Amino acid sequence: MTSRLYDSIEPNVIDDEMLQKAVEEQGPQEEAGQLAKKEGINFKDVKELQLDFRNILKIDNLWQFVNLTKLQLDNNIIEKIESLDCLVNLVWLDLSFNSIEIIEGLDALVKLQDLSLFNNRISKIENLDALKELQVFSIGNNNIGILEDVIYLRKFKHLRTLNLSGNPVCDNEVYSTFVVAYLPNLAYLDFRLVDDNMRDMASMKYQYAIEEMKQGEAVALINQQADEAKEKELEYHKAAYVEYLNGPYLFDSLYAEDPEAAKLIYLPGVPELVETYKEKFVAICEALFEYGLKQHAKRKEEVAIFYECLNEALTNNQEQGTNIIQDFEERNRGALDAIQSLSDTQITEKLSEYNADIAKLVETLMSLEMQLVEQLEEVIKDFERNILDMVSTFIENEQGLYPFYCLLLVWSYKHGGHSASGLGNWHACCAVQDCSSLMCSKSGCISALKALPWSITHGVLTSGIPAKSYFHPRS
Task: Tell whether the model's pLDDT for residue 153 goes beyond 90.
Answer: yes
**Residue 304 burial by CB count (10 A; 0-12/13-18/19+): exposed, middle or buried?**
exposed
pLDDT of residue 135 exceeding 90, the answer is yes
Sign of CA dihedral 25, 27, 31, 37: negative
Distances, alpha carbon 189 to alpha carbons 125, 137, 142, 186, 195, in Å: 16, 10, 16, 7, 10
User: What does the pLDDT average to over 1-20?
Assistant: 71
In terms of C-beta density within 10 A (0-12 exposed, 13-18 middle, 19 or more buried), how is residue 217 classed?
A: middle
Domain 1-100+111-121 in CATH 3.40.50.970: no
Task: Give the per-residue pLDDT at 178.
Answer: 94
Q: Is the pLDDT of residue 414 over 60?
A: no
Looking at per-residue pLDDT, the higher value among 464 and 333 belongs to 333
Highest mean pLDDT, choosing among 143-152, 211-220, 431-440: 143-152
3-state helix, strand, coil in the chain (%, to 5): 55, 5, 35
How much is the average pLDDT of 208-232?
89
Model confidence at 457, in pLDDT bands (50, 70, 90)? very low
In this prediction, residue 413 carries a pLDDT of 42
pLDDT of residue 433: 37
Is the Cβ–Cβ distance between 166 and 141 less than 8 Å? yes
Tell me the mean pLDDT in the region 10-31. Answer: 83
Q: What is the rounded average pLDDT of the residues 369-381?
A: 91
Q: Report the pLDDT value the prediction gives residue 38, as an integer from 0 to 100.
A: 61
What is the per-residue pLDDT for 32?
Answer: 52
According to DSSP, the β-strands at 12-13 and 48-50 are unpaired
Asked whether the predicted pLDDT for residue 357 surpasses 60, the reply is: yes
Q: Which residues contact 128 (CB under 8 A, 6 or more apart)?
A: 103, 106, 115, 134, 152, 156
Q: What type of residue sits at position 92?
A: W
Q: Which amino acid is at 368?
A: L
pLDDT at 435: 37
The identity of residue 73, as a single letter, is L
More confident residue, 336 or 223: 223
Q: Which residue has the higher pLDDT, 312 or 27?
A: 312
CA geometry: angle at 127 spanning 124 and 129, to 5°? 130
**What is the rounded CA–CA span in Å between residue 327 and residue 324?**
5
Asked if residue 409 lies in contact with residue 403, where contact means CB atoms within 8 angstroms, the answer is: no
Q: Does position 4 have pLDDT exceeding 60, yes or no?
A: no
> Tell me, what's the pLDDT at 30?
58
Count how many Cα atoms sit within 13 Å of the Cα of residue 113 in the half-sphere of its side chain.
6
Which of the pair, 260 or 48, is modelled with greater confidence? 48
Q: Does the pLDDT of residue 5 top 60, yes or no? A: no
Residue 455 has pLDDT above 60, yes or no: no
Burial class (CB in 10 A: 0-12, 13-18, 19+), 367: exposed
CB 74 within 8 A of CB 94: yes
Q: 100 near 119, Cβ under 8 Å?
A: no
Q: How far is CA 68 from CA 12, 48, 62, in A?
A: 22, 6, 10
Largest CA distance in the chain: 114
Identify which of 102-116, 367-381, 436-450 has the greatest average pLDDT: 102-116
The reported pLDDT for the residue numbered 36 is 58
Checking if the pLDDT of 140 tops 80, the result is: yes
Query: Model-level pTM?
Result: 0.60
The SS3 of residue 152 is helix
Least Cα distance to 21 among 31, 33, 32 occurs for 33
Average model confidence (pLDDT) across the chain: 81
pLDDT of 102 > 90? The answer is yes
What span, in angstroms and rounded, lies between the C-alpha atoms of 88 and 85? 7
Beta-strand pair 188-189/192-193: antiparallel
Taking the C-alpha atoms of residue 406 and residue 198, their distance in angstroms, rounded to an integer, is: 78
Question: How many Å apart are CA 305 and CA 173, to the nearest integer?
Answer: 66
Higher pLDDT, 110 or 401: 110
> Across residues 371-386, what is the average pLDDT?
91
pLDDT at position 76 over 80:
yes
Question: What residues does 58 pair with on adjacent strands?
Answer: 13
Radius of gyration of the chain, Cα coordinates, nearest whole angstrom:
37
Mean pLDDT of all residues in 374-397: 89
Estimate the crossing angle of helix 175-182 against helix 207-239, to 10 degrees. 40
Instruction: State the average pLDDT over residues 199-211.
Output: 89
Higher local confidence (pLDDT), 464 or 282: 282
- Across residues 82-92, what is the average pLDDT? 96
Lowest mean pLDDT segment, chosen from 121-135, 293-307, 328-342, 441-455: 441-455
Q: Is residue 402 very low, low, confident or very high in pLDDT (cuts 50, 70, 90)?
A: low
Residue 150: per-residue pLDDT: 94
Q: Is the pLDDT of residue 164 over 60?
A: yes
Closest CA relative to residue 449, chosen from 475, 404, 422, 411: 411
Under a CB-based contact definition with an 8 Å cutoff, are residues 106 and 126 in contact?
A: no
Distances (CA, A) of 40 to 21, 24, 346: 12, 9, 48
Q: How confident is the model at residue 39 (pLDDT cuts 50, 70, 90)?
A: low
The 3 state secondary structure assigned to 374-400 is HHHHHHHHHHHHHHHHHHHHHHHHHHC
Residue 257 above 90 pLDDT? Answer: no
In the DSSP assignment, the letter for residue 470 is G
The per-residue b/e assignment along 419-428, b for 16 or more CB within 10 angstroms, e otherwise, is eeebbbbbbe
Q: Which range has highest mean pLDDT (14-28, 82-96, 277-291)?
A: 82-96
- Beta strands 92-94 and 192-193, pairing class: unpaired
- For residues 131 and 157, give the distance between their C-alpha atoms in angstroms, rounded to a whole number: 11
Q: Over the stretch 266-324, which tens digit does the pLDDT of each residue have?
A: 888 888 888 888 888 888 888 889 988 999 999 999 999 999 999 999 999 999 999 99
Q: Give the Cβ contact number of residue 332 at 10 Å.
A: 15
Q: What percent of the chain has pLDDT over 70?
A: 79
Segments making up each domain of the chain, as ranges: 1-100+111-121, 270-395, 405-470
Residue 445 above 50 pLDDT? no
Q: What pLDDT sits at residue 332?
A: 79
Q: Residue 52 pLDDT > 90, yes or no?
A: yes
Which of 190, 189, 180 lies closest to 154, judged by CA?
180
